[in-house]
């Protein structure tokens, strides 16, 4: 991804494939609000037969018609496309969790992107593996609290165990908080979370520490 126009095009392609806005947010590593904005901009661009004035880009025209959300897109596909690189990253993420001792025997990956990373982290820490599909994968519009996430029965269950949580990025913390609450509802206890990139500088959620390899900070100035 090189610019916002590329994101709008990708959002349009994903929407055409039938993905929900929540799933698009997950695929593009942006917030749900940003995903909605990207899809709406792609719809507006497709429906309009007018060319941008004075060589303006589609995003310039779209921004005039609606405020652009404040967000940061993290493209880690250079890591994700290569299993060896993924293994090295997972080793580093596992090292951040190792300080919590050797008694933890379950690692939960947040689907979709967190699942493959969690698999490698679990291998490194020699734990069982579980996965959680968050409510945002069903989300299109409105209140996400009306939706619910699920643990996959194809992987290890919580069974009142202590565990780690793994995901690729933290944007607002909503999905991570939901996962923590879902684990506790099953009788488990998350001891720590780890992500590849943190876009908010979150150190803890619901009393659970959150570790990251990278913290992405947006620096701006008033015009």
Q: Which of 200, 207, 139 is nearest to 167 (CA)?
A: 200
The pLDDT tens digits for 62-82 are 444 456 777 888 889 999 999
pTM exceeds cut of 0.95? no
> Which tokens belong to 159?
């069974």
Task: Give the pLDDT of residue 36.
Answer: 79
Q: How far apart are CA 47 and CA 42, in angstroms?
A: 9
Q: Does residue 110 or residue 50 have the better pLDDT? A: 110
Task: Give the pLDDT of residue 37.
Answer: 84
- CATH architecture of residue range(s) 77-215: 3-Layer(aba) Sandwich (3.40)
Q: In the chain, at which residue ranges do the beta strands (DSSP E only) sit?
A: 106-110, 128-133, 150-151, 162-170, 189-198, 204-205, 208-215
The pLDDT tens digits for 107-161 are 999 998 899 999 999 999 999 999 999 887 665 566 556 667 899 999 999 989 9
Task: Give the pLDDT of residue 162.
Answer: 95
Q: Cis omega (within 30 of 0) on the bond before 203?
A: no
The pLDDT tens digits for 4-34 are 888 788 888 888 887 887 778 777 778 777 8
Compute CA distances 24 → 6, 13, 27, 43, 182, whole Å.
Answer: 14, 10, 5, 14, 22
Task: Give the pLDDT of residue 129.
Answer: 98
Question: Are 181 and 164 within 8 A, CB to CB?
Answer: no
Q: How far apart are CA 108 and CA 163, in angstroms?
A: 7
Question: Considering the domain 4-65 in this protein, what is its CATH number?
Answer: 1.10.10
Helix (H, G, I), strand (E, B) or coil at 144: helix
Instruction: Report which DSSP code applies to 155.
Output: S
The pLDDT tens digits for 166-205 are 999 998 898 999 999 999 999 999 999 999 999 888 999 9
Residue 198: beta bridge partners? Answer: 170, 215
Task: Give the pLDDT of residue 10.
Answer: 83
Q: Where are the domains of the chain?
A: 4-65, 77-215
């Amino acid at each position: 991804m090189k610019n916002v126009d590329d994101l709008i095009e990708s959002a349009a392609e994903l929407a055409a494939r039938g993905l929900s806005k929540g799933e698009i947010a997950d695929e593009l590593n942006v917030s749900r609000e940003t995903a909605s904005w990207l899809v709406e901009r792609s719809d507006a661009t497709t429906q309009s037969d007018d060319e941008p004035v004075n060589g303006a880009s589609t995003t310039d025209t779209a921004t005039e018609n609606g405020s652009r959300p404040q967000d940061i897109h993290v493209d880690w596909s250079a890591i994700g496309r290569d299993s060896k690189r993924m293994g090295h990253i997972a080793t580093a993420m596992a090292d951040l969790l190792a300080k919590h001792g050797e008694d933890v025997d379950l690692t939960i990956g947040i689907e979709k992107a967190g699942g493959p990373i969690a698999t490698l982290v679990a291998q490194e820490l020699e734990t069982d593996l579980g996965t959680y599909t968050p409510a945002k994968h069903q989300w299109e519009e409105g209140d996400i609290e009306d939706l619910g996430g699920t643990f996959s029965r194809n992987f290890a269950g919580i069974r009142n165990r202590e565990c780690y949580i793994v995901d690729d990025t933290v944007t607002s913390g909503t999905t991570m908080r939901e996962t923590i609450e879902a684990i506790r509802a099953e009788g488990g206890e998350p001891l720590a979370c780890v992500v590849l990139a943190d876009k908010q500088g979150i150190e803890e959620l619901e009393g659970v520490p959150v570790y990251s390899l990278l913290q992405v900070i947006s620096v701006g100035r008033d015009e």
